[in-house]
């Protein structure tokens, strides 16, 4: 679905409408047809790589698994060129708010979490990161120490932030108070790695929105 989303962006199509259309086919279903910045966790990445290696050991190349691994690695960093372009290549001392650290909602697991790849790239470019997650902040604190700051709620990390990046699709992020967000953010800019909002509606709210 991520490849379809990337193609839709190139040709100006609405990936949500395409996703719904594909999902109407009962042979496919709609449960897992959500584009985003990649999968993580302890199981799926390991299992995919293990099956691919088993094939190689047996003299067989799983081309589709090779592509899955490659595309997922690319998806984890797909927002960075957009962020970099928006700030004209200068992220030094920019404050970036992050919503979501866990690899998926309803867990504190950060193994292979896309958020960590995003944070590493932002820090490497000199940005300051302030993040919030309902469950995973302590695990990230253990891993990253004081290289980033953490909020007590989803809104206080927006204070004077130059942009918001959404990395995990927690339910509380789906229906935020947009007026409160605009009062907090220095710039009304959202880079959404989980396609949580309707593109036109969020633009009508007065945000620059990239998903």
Pair 151, 130: CB distance under 8 Å: yes
End-to-end CA gap in the chain: 14
Phi, psi of 130 (to 5 degrees): -125, 125
Among the listed residues 13, 28, 43, 124, the single catalytic one is 43
**Residue 8 appears among annotated catalytic residues:** no
Instruction: Please list, in sequence order, all residues whose beta carbon lies within 8 angstroms of the beta carbon of residue 63, skipping any fewer than 6 positions away.
Output: none
SS (H, E, C) 113-166: CHHHHHHHHHHHCCCEEEEECCCCHHHHHHHHHHHCEECCCCCHHHCCCCEEEE
Residues catalogued as catalytic:
43
């Amino acid at each position: 679905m991520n490849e379809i989303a990337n193609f839709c962006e190139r040709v100006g199509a609405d990936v949500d409408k395409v996703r719904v259309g594909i999902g109407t086919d009962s042979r496919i279903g709609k449960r897992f047809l959500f584009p985003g910045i990649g999968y993580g966790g302890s199981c799926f990445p390991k299992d995919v790589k293990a099956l691919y290696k088993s094939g190689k050991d047996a003299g067989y190349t799983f081309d589709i698994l090779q592509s899955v691994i490659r595309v997922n690695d690319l998806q984890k960093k797909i927002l960075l060129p957009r962020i970099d372009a928006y700030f004209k290549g200068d992220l030094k001392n920019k404050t970036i708010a992050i919503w979501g650290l866990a690899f998926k909602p309803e867990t504190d697991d950060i193994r292979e979490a896309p958020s960590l790849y995003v944070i590493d790239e932002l820090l490497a470019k000199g940005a300051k990161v302030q993040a919030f997650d309902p469950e995973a902040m302590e695990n990230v604190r253990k891993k990253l120490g004081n290289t980033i700051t953490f909020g007590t709620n989803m809104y206080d990390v927006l204070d004077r932030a130059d942009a918001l990046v959404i990395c995990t699709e927690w339910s509380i992020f789906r229906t935020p108070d947009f007026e409160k967000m605009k009062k907090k953010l220095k710039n009304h800019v959202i880079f959404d790695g989980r396609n949580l909002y309707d593109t036109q509606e969020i633009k009508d709210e007065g945000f620059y929105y990239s998903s």
